[in-house]
Chains A and B, each alone.
Chain A
Amino acid sequence: MAIRNPSSFLNPLMFFVISISLFPIAISPEAETLSRMAPGIIWVITMLSVLLSLNTLFHYDFDNGVLEQMIISHHSLSLILLAKTIAHWILSGLPIIILSPFLGMALFLNSESIIILILTLIIATPCLSLIGSIGASLVVGIKNSGMLLSLLILPLYIPILIFATSAISNAQSNLAIDGQLYFLGFFLVASLIITPFLSALSLKISLE
């Protein structure tokens, strides 16, 4: 479906690429400054672009009435929503992971840090989609809910941001990063277990 309506996933991706490539122009083209700021820049823009794409997660299905059919389906609503969220990650998180090494290079990250960057993205972008699905299901019936969605979801993204960026910064200074990765792994497992149920619950409430 996304291939037949490519703007739904290309817009956030374009936002990701364009905004990151503007930083060297706006701040400084010096390698030292940029490489110090790179983890923060890439992760903040990743979050914002996932947030941008979250609006489309349930919105079209709600407008068409397909969500109603999902709720009354005899299949488990949590599993249907988990499948939808995984599809969302494939279209929002995965392209970011694929593009990130090139943008990391553009911001003068060294090769070890780029590997850690990819690693944190692989572990944590599914968390972004999963946690985001709760927010998306809560605001599904509300028009122009972008701002509300950001207010609901961004605070929950902050721990991921802290651990992911500190892992990359530590890697740049050759410090241990195990702790941060363990925490990110914990977030992934926890959100994989909990969020489908919470999204299903909040979706039922939203559609009542």
Chain B
Amino acid sequence: MSKLIVNNLSCQKGYNLLFENLSFEINSGEVLKVSGANGSGKTSLLRIIAGLSSFESGEIDYDSFNLKSEQYKLDLLYLGHLASLSPELSCLENLKYSSLLGTNSLKNDYSKALKQVGLEKYENDLVGTLSAGQKKRIALSLLFITQSKVWLLDEPFSALDSKAITIIESKIEEHCINGGLCILTTHQECNIKNLKEITL
């Protein structure tokens, strides 16, 4: 049973105070949807939890590990709004590279993951030649091979069609049933069970 606790978190960008004394906790099996207007600090919050940005005050703990610990990094999957794909590599190469680099993936089923997001025909195409939605699908296909427990998804549904959104939503549900937890930001309605919501 894993637990991510955010306690009294405050974040400031330049002279702008984005949020102050933000506290929440999320247990394994739960999904947290972070909503708020543009510029309210949703991405900043995810970047802070991913350990990419610093914060003014507060504490973040994951099962009593801190954000810099090896264990947390092994358990973390962060997909930012940039797709983290190299346009010179093919879909399959990108997926292999990402899973070697960032995530704790043991199942080497890259082709199967691409099939899940409907891109089996594009395995060997260069990512630079694909559309924005297809790139987003490749980035999200990582969800099908990762073993990480903490998923941080920044705008996972942007540029996706309704069919792809359903696939990703059911994958997030499956992840939670298997004991994972997920924090996502989106402006869209989500049909996910066990959904908690906070607004910045």
Q: Hey, which bits of chain A sit against chain B, CB under 8 A?
A: 1, 4-5, 60-61, 63-66, 68-75, 80, 207-208
Contact = CB atoms under 8 A, between A and B. Distances in A.
A68 B51 contact: no
Nearest to B83: A65
B177 interface: no
A184 B141 CA distance: 48
Contacts of B87: 64
A73 B84 CA distance: 13
Nearest to A1: B88
Contact of A208 (B52, B76, B86, B101): B52
Interface of B: 50-54, 70, 73-74, 76, 78, 80, 82-89, 98, 101-102, 104, 126
A64 B52 CA distance: 16
A161 B91 CA distance: 43
Contacts of A73: 73, 101-102
Contact of B83 (A5, A64, A72, A74): A64
A65 B78 CA distance: 11
B70 A74 contact: yes
B78 A68 contact: yes
A66 B90 CA distance: 15
A80 B102 CA distance: 12
Given A71-B52, A73-B102, A208-B52, A65 B126 contact: no
B84 A66 contact: yes
Contacts of B85: 64-66
A71 to B, nearest CB: 6
A180 B7 CA distance: 57
A91 to B, nearest CB: 13
A87 B33 CA distance: 41
A72 B126 contact: no
Nearest to B89: A1
A66 to B, nearest CB: 5
Nearest to A3: B88
25 contacts: A1-B86, A1-B89, A4-B89, A4-B126, A64-B82, A64-B84, A64-B85, A64-B86, A65-B80, A65-B84, A65-B85, A68-B50, A68-B52, A68-B82, A68-B84, A70-B101, A71-B51, A71-B52, A72-B50, A72-B52, A72-B76, A72-B78, A74-B73, A80-B101, A208-B53
A49 B198 CA distance: 52
Contact of A69 (B54, B88, B101, B104): B101
B102 A60 contact: no
A207 B74 contact: no
3 smallest CB-CB distances across A and B, nearest first, come from: A65-B82, A74-B73, A65-B84
